[in-house]
Structure 1
Amino acid sequence: MPRIVLTAGLLQISLICLNFAAYRFMFSIVLYQPEIPPNTGNIIRLCANSGADLHLVKPLGFPLDSAKMKRAGLDYHEFARISLHETFEDCLAALEGRRIFALTTKGRTRPDQAEFRPDDVFLFGPETRGLPAAILERLPENQKLRLPMLPGSRSMNLSNTVAVMLYEAWRQNGYQGGI
């Protein structure tokens, strides 16, 4: 089976190609400056199991070869398509022409109120501070989403939020490609 190796500093993420050229990744997840390695590891595993590709925007709060990240992702790193971007602008260029939805505690629209389609992108901010206002201001209000929480709650865990969002979008698209 062919392998692709993505090298970023000390990290080598190898991707076992189950003919990636023929496989259509339905959604993209963007983690803007993630800080906690186990969250990113969990999200890598989620992307491998759901067919989403993952974009990481530097700076990261941990080295990509972090043992905690690898442990959380188990052996799924080799089944995920991961892109590493130096800047948010580089990431946007790679995703040009696609709709971007940001998950934020400042959003007014619930994910079930939006209509998702293949190629949509879901953007998440750092665990301790969320997305900066300068990024959120670039998006229309209906593309700033918020997961419902009880009054007084501040936020949810990043990897849980990504899972809820990704599965809602996939559900709306009939779990295309899933078994």
Structure 2
Amino acid sequence: MDEITSRENERIKKACALKQKKERQKQRKVLVEGWRLIADAAAQGLSPVQCFITPQAATHERFQGLYALGKRLSWQFFVVAPKVYDKLKETQHPQGIAAVLPYFTTALDLTERIAPQRPIVYLQSVQDPGNLGSIIRTAAAADAGAVVLSRDSVDVYNDKVLRSAMGAVFKIPLVTDVDMETLQAYCLRTHRRLTGAAASGSSSYTQLDYAQARVLAFGNEGNGLTLPFLQACAETVTIPMRPETESLNLAAAVGIVLYKAWERQGFLYE
């Protein structure tokens, strides 16, 4: 493996620049940290990848397996001095391994092959990266078909999103920058019923026919789905709550509905 001892190395400079959204979009790459996320990227066959590791982390028992798989995928590995890794790291408790990955989001039309019984989640104007990461993780666990985001939602490549998702970003298709009109056309083309979740929904989420192919839409943490979006929905649903209680956390609300859909499909207890 090549060694990097200078903080001014060009590879390090380009990797550190990816901490900014504008540069991520320009390079169409993302800088990630940690064994789990990088191992999941390798397991999914992601390439090309540049992996940076400290001498101490290179002695970790997990590294030999990662290195062998990475080399089969034509990954580049670099041993970096601790002072160099200090420039790369973003986490408070770094594990000594970071990597530059290519963008892994997909196009909306590629989700048309997803089985109709698997609901697709649409998120409008979601702003909290921790919420988005939790939603992606839950959607993957509950066998949703994909997670689709509006153009003004938080960046899926935000470091906190990736860490909150715990590797689930590689286990479910992610689509970004989809506006309401594009989503409506997609639903018409794929015969999916656009269903909006709202406090003022016309019926309980428990009454929904989950055998119908659906896009389940959820809105901004503070304001929910916009009125024009709700008016465009084929139907709206709500999650019943005790009187005088605050609204549910967005990630919790998405989880409740997705697990009900999965249960109704009969997959939960197989």
Render the CA deviation track for 1:61-115: whole Å, top value 9, x for unaligned: x333211111110111111111113422122223322112111001131111222
Q: Hey, what's the Cα distance between the residues in 2 that align with 1:137 and 1:118?
A: 20
- Cα distance 1:3–1:38, how it changes in 2: closer, same or farther (>3 A)? same
* Equivalent in 122, 133, 147 of residue 30 of structure 1: 122
Partner of 1:42: 134
Render the CA deviation track for 1:29-64: whole Å, top value 9, x for unaligned: 00011111111111111122222111111112x333
Counterpart of 2:103 in structure 1: which amino acid?
A: Q
Q: Hey, what's the Cα distance between the residues in 2 that align with 1:106 and 1:11?
A: 41
Question: 2:226 aligned with 1:132, yes or no?
Answer: yes
Gaps of 5+ in 2: 1-42, 48-100
SS of the counterpart of 1:13?
A: coil
Q: Which has the higher helix share?
A: 2
SS of the counterpart of 2:103?
A: strand
Q: Hey, what's the Cα distance between the residues in 1 that align with 2:46 and 2:212?
A: 24
* Equivalent in 224, 231, 236 of residue 144 of structure 1: 236
* Structure of larger gyration radius: 2
Partner of 1:117: 211
**Aligned pairs, how many?**
167
Select the structure with the greater relative contact order (CA < 8 A; seq sep ≥ 6): 1
Question: 2:175 aligned with 1:83, yes or no?
Answer: yes
Could you list the structure 1 runs, at least 4 aligned residues long, displaced by more than 3 angstroms after superposition.
1-5, 20-25
Q: Hey, what's the Cα distance between the residues in 1 that align with 2:126 and 2:201?
A: 20
Query: Alignment RMSD, CA only?
Result: 2.8
Q: Provide the TM-score with structure 2 as the length reference.
A: 0.55
SS of the counterpart of 1:168?
A: helix
Q: Hey, what's the Cα distance between the residues in 2 that align with 1:14 and 1:112?
A: 31
User: Structure 1 vs Structure 2: percent identity of aligned residues?
Assistant: 23
- Cα distance 1:122–1:21, how it changes in 2: closer, same or farther (>3 A)? closer
**Partners of 1:118 and 1:173 within 8 A in 2:** no
Counterpart of 2:209 in structure 1: which amino acid?
A: E
- Cα distance 1:86–1:168, how it changes in 2: closer, same or farther (>3 A)? closer
**Partners of 1:42 and 1:72 within 8 A in 2:** yes
**Partners of 1:14 and 1:78 within 8 A in 2:** no
Gaps of 5+ in 1: none
Out of 81-90 and 154-163, give the one that drifted further: 81-90
1:119 deviation in Å?
2.3
**Partners of 1:104 and 1:130 within 8 A in 2:** yes
SS of the counterpart of 2:232?
A: coil
1:23 deviation in Å?
6.6
1:148 deviation in Å?
0.9
- Cα distance 1:48–1:131, how it changes in 2: closer, same or farther (>3 A)? same
Q: Provide the TM-score with structure 1 as the length reference.
A: 0.81
